[in-house]
Amino acid sequence: MSIQWFPGHMHKARKQIKEVISQVDLIIEVLDSRIPYSSENPMIAQLRGDKPFIKVLTKSDLSDETITTQWLQYFEKQNGVKALALSSNHPEKTQKIIDLILQMLPNKVDGHKTINVMIMGIPNVGKSTLINILAGRTIAKTGNEPAVTKSQQRINLRNGIMLWDTPGMLWPKVENENSGYRLATTGAIRDTAMSYDDVAFFAADFLLKNYPKQLIERYSINPLPKTELEFLEAAGKLRGCLGAGGRVDLEKISKIIITEYRSGLLGKISLETPEVIEKELVIVEQQMADKEAKKALRKAQFKKRR
């Protein structure tokens, strides 16, 4: 799945962030704990420089605890980065973010200066919910649809910290095809930008290989089929997703499975591990190198013909 989605307000937000980033003391990036790598915005790393950085993995009540721990350890190995996992079910743990900010900027605390913190994240990772918990009041609009926040705003947390909110931004192109599917599965991109059955095929294939017990428990299919198509058809029959001639309506059962995954009805499931991502990155780098080599070859051939 090749995703290219860069609405005008996101382009504008990127430009604005670039203009004010020098005034910021620390950056918080909000990630979906089910897809910590795929929900990272590479543009943030480019804009950050060497500023202290906190990675907040939200929706930890929906992700595999063991894999979330692996991601926290993975991020903590990076220079100047602290990481923690949070869930809206336990808002009291959000205070840890404030503690981390003060710990990472001791010179600001001692000098009684305002600490400027910018919070970023791609659409629908729970950034607005997190802001409201930190502020202790409803500041940011929340919703299940991505791209709710449209402009920057500053929020005084009344503890010496000024929080700079930013719109949820996707980057111009998702190079890793699997990351595109993961973003679609979790709802980080609008459903109109994808085909439900295409995404469900990806999700079903992954779940059959990695979380078969959860599928058996949820859909009462035992033994499980070997292929994603067979699984979708079996689940569709059980859920009454039948069309003309008694055929399974793949789009209908696909919507059900994606919706149930997003809401946590399938259990605590993570879609990627650090090890898997490291392997995928090698493949993506090779693909990009091959593309560049082909471009160079075409240019050389064109010059010869002139």
What's the rounded mean pLDDT across residues 22-49? 92
**pLDDT exceeds 50 at position 147:** no
**CA 57, chain centre distance (Å):** 9
**Measured distance CA(54)–CA(76) in Å, rounded:** 9
Please indicate, yes or no, if residue 17 is contained in any of the structural domains: yes
- Please tell me whether residues 102 and 234 are part of one structural domain: no
For 249-269, the pLDDT digits (tens) are 999 999 999 999 999 999 999
Q: Residue 148 pLDDT > 60, yes or no?
A: no
Give the pLDDT confidence of 224-242 residue by residue, as tens digits. 999 999 999 999 999 999 9
Position 220 in a domain: yes
What whole-number distance in Å separates Cα of residue 228 and Cα of residue 220? 16
Task: Report whether pLDDT(114) > 80.
Answer: yes
Q: What is the mean pLDDT of residues 20-24?
A: 88
**Do 85 and 199 have their domain in common?**
no
Does 160 share its domain with 199?
A: no
The answer to whether residues 215 and 221 touch, using CB atoms and an 8 Å cutoff, is yes
Residues 47 and 98 in one domain: yes
Q: Which amino acid is at 303?
A: K
Q: Which of 229, 244, 262 is the last residue of a domain?
A: 262
Range with the lowest mean pLDDT among 31-40, 92-101, 224-233?
92-101
User: Cβ(197)–Cβ(257) under 8 Å?
Assistant: no
3-state secondary structure of 242: strand
In a domain, 66, yes or no: yes
The verdict on 214 and 129 lying in the same domain is no
For the record, the structure tokens of 17 come out as: 């962030």
Specify whether 61 is located in the same domain as 111.
yes
Please check whether residue 299 lies inside any domain of the structure. no
Between 52-56, 110-114, 134-138, the lowest mean confidence (pLDDT) is in 110-114
**Does residue 206 sit in the same domain as residue 67?**
no
Q: What is the mean pLDDT of residues 49-55?
A: 93
Q: What is the CATH number of the domain that holds 130?
A: 3.40.50.300
How far is 104 from 25, CA to CA, in rounded Å?
A: 10
Contact assessment for residue 269 and residue 211, using Cβ atoms and an 8 Å cutoff: yes
CATH number for position 229: 1.10.1580.10
How many Å apart are CA 96 and CA 35, to the nearest integer?
A: 22
Give me the pLDDT at residue 151, please.
Answer: 52
298 occurs within a structural domain:
no
**38, two tokens:** 């795929």
Tell me whether residue 205 is in a domain.
Answer: yes
Q: Is 292 among the domain residues?
A: no
Q: Evaluate whether residue 140 is within a structural domain.
A: yes
Q: Cβ neighbours of residue 257 under 8 Å, at least 6 residues apart?
A: 200, 203, 204, 232, 235
Sequence-distant contacts of 229-233: CB under 8 A, at least 24 apart: 229/201, 231/204, 232/197, 232/200, 232/201, 232/204, 232/257
Please say if the pLDDT value at position 80 is more than 90. Answer: yes
Determine the Cα angle at 40 with ends 3 and 121, to 5°.
95
Is the model more confident about 167 or about 231? 231
Lowest mean pLDDT segment, chosen from 64-68, 150-154, 296-300: 150-154
Which domain covers residue 233, as residue numbers? 195-262
